[in-house]
Amino acid sequence: MMPPSSDGAVLPDCSQYPDDVVSEDLLDTLDRAELVRVLAEQGVEGARELLRRRSEDDQELKSRLDRLREEFRRRAARGVARTLEEYDRRAEELNLVTRRSDEEIARQIAELEERLRQARGIDWSALPSGGLLEDVTSALLIPEASWNRPPRPPGLLARLLAALRRFAAWLSGLFRRRKVPTPPPAAGRRIPLAFLSAEGRTIGPSELGTAIASLSPSERKELSGRVESSIRSRERDLEREAEEKRRSADSQRRQLEAEKEEARRRAESDTDKKVREAERRRFERELKERGFVAEKAGELVVTYGLVQRFAKLLLEETSRQLPGDVRLSLRGGGSTGVFEKARLRRLEEIAHLDVPSSLLEARLTGSRHIEESTSYVFREVTSERVHVVLAFDRSGSMEESGKLDAAKKALLALYVAVRRRYPDATVDVLAFDNTVAALDLVELWECKAGAFTNTAEALRAVHLLLRSSRASRKELYLITDGLPEAFTDEDGSVRSGQLDIAQEHALERARELATVGLLRSTIILLKSDHPEYEVAARELARTLGGEMVVTEPRHLGVELLVRWAHGSEVERRPAAAPSPPAAPRPVAGGRRRKGDRRMGG
């Protein structure tokens, strides 16, 4: 093998190849933040409409769409060409069958013409040639032929003459010597067929030869005519058969042409539809490849990753609306100097990458390169452990005036804010109407309005989550738009319509929740025209020992972030063992437990 440094080594000329690989993906021309927002709020159809609008102004996107559509049209044209080629093949096969049939019938007619020529010049002094034997035999067996008709009965004169001859014979027999009668020939004796002699085939003592020899000249002439008539009849039958086959072939050919024309017309009319369908599939494929949507039960649904990106956008937008004296820190808890190896969660942690562990994990998963999903980093263990519960009312009244949509967006932004500041925080999201349900981010964003407001059951669920939590900072954010309307009785049945009893149950659960140490609670009431709603909310807030905020739906996100940013933080040094739960000092930071992690954190 020649070394690269050798003078004889010739390097390939790469000047004809482009320096960069150009992407033809449609999503590369769209603003990522705008696409994420449209997908989250309007779904895939909204993203398609965004693509259509941007293609009117963006020349690069329009060019990509034009190239893509042209490629789809070429593919559709190839499909049409294959279909038309199939019709052409079938027509060629039909023509070949028709041509062979015509040739076969023409050959048979030529043979009949030759036999007809022989029949016109037949010599009845010898047996006919082999080609005419069958025709002559068939003609001799025709029932209506003159030689096959029974003889007519004799007339009166013939009968008298016959009687006189018999009388004369009797008289002569009286005077003559009696002779021994000659026996008649034995019946049924077989006669050989015509035989070959030195002079050729001659008439022998055969049945056919005897029959022909016994014919009179007029009967022989009639036999010749019947042989010729039989041959002409067969020739006419062949011509009719050929004509029927030609008509059938023409009909099939016209039908193929009509089907071919219909296929061409249908294909041309369906080309635009096929192009639109191919463009739709291409767009959906790009969305799937980027992790924005996934197929579930035959439908496209948003993914957890998309909702996370959307939540980050909501946090950025809401953060810009915060008052000037409020700033959100990206880091929480005091520094301990203790690091643990953990999975990569944020791009900022890439500086602390554990290269050997990440490379080994990549090899174990079959990858040749370090990827985000296989990367490990050294993350500092902070001194503060946080547990946040986000509870929101999803009763039927929240559907009015966009309150439910505003609550979902505000909670998504707050969720990201908590995770950004405390990556190890435990965040629980609860939605309550008659019952309470724990949700992940996708379920939160896709949550629909339900029945009545069972605030007592929501507070009971929060108490169950926080009473055993070992976090040093526990916070509750509860969003509602009205009075407690329902409650759960002792047997587990949900009762509604008794507002006073529902309020008493809610206050009882609030007193129970207030026993949880280190809890900071905030009740946010969406503004209403009913003053009794605010009175009930303030009573709950006082019972919990927290604060109550009344705000408009459009300001809900800002109010949540302000309350979160003003939360107190206590720096603690790592300890060998956790402090007792009753002590005012929070538990020192350490490795997190899986039981404290929720919402995919």
- Percent of the chain past pLDDT 70, that is, above it, reads 81
Average pLDDT over residues 264-283: 84
- Sorting pLDDT into bands at 50, 70 and 90, what band is 333? low
Average pLDDT over residues 346-369: 81
Is the model more confident about 125 or about 443?
443
d(CA 439, CA 423): 19
Q: Return the structure tokens found at 514.
A: 């207030």
How is the chain split into domains, by residue range?
24-141+203-302, 381-573
pLDDT tens string 41-86: 999 999 999 988 988 888 888 888 888 888 888 888 888 888 888 8
Angle between helices 217-289 and 32-57 (to 10 degrees): 130
Say yes or no to pLDDT of 445 above 80.
yes
Range in 135-139, 211-215, 597-601 the model is least confident about: 597-601
- Percent of the chain past pLDDT 90, that is, above it, reads 29
Residues with Cβ within 8 Å of 565's Cβ and at least 6 positions away in sequence, in order, are 322, 326, 327, 328, 329
d(CA 336, CA 425): 17
Q: CATH says 381-573 is which class?
A: alpha beta
Say yes or no to pLDDT of 575 above 70.
no
Q: Is 555 helix (H, G, I), strand (E, B) or coil?
A: helix
- Sorting pLDDT into bands at 50, 70 and 90, what band is 375? confident
Q: Are 454 and 436 in contact (CB under 8 A)?
A: yes
DSSP letters for 341-362: EEE--SGGGGGGB-HHHHHHHH
Q: Are 231 and 119 in contact (CB under 8 A)?
A: yes
pLDDT tens string 177-215: 555 555 554 443 333 333 334 444 433 445 777 777 778
Is the model more confident about 487 or about 585?
487
The DSSP bridge partners found for residue 478 are 391, 523
pLDDT tens string 484-501: 999 999 888 999 888 999
Range in 128-137, 265-274, 311-320, 525-534 the model is least confident about: 128-137
The pLDDT of residue 158 is 79
Q: Which residue has the tokens 């992940």?
A: 440
| Cα angle, residue 403 at apex, residues 401 and 407 outer, rounded to 5° | 160
The DSSP bridge partners found for residue 437 are 431
Q: pTM for this one?
A: 0.61
The pLDDT of residue 576 is 40
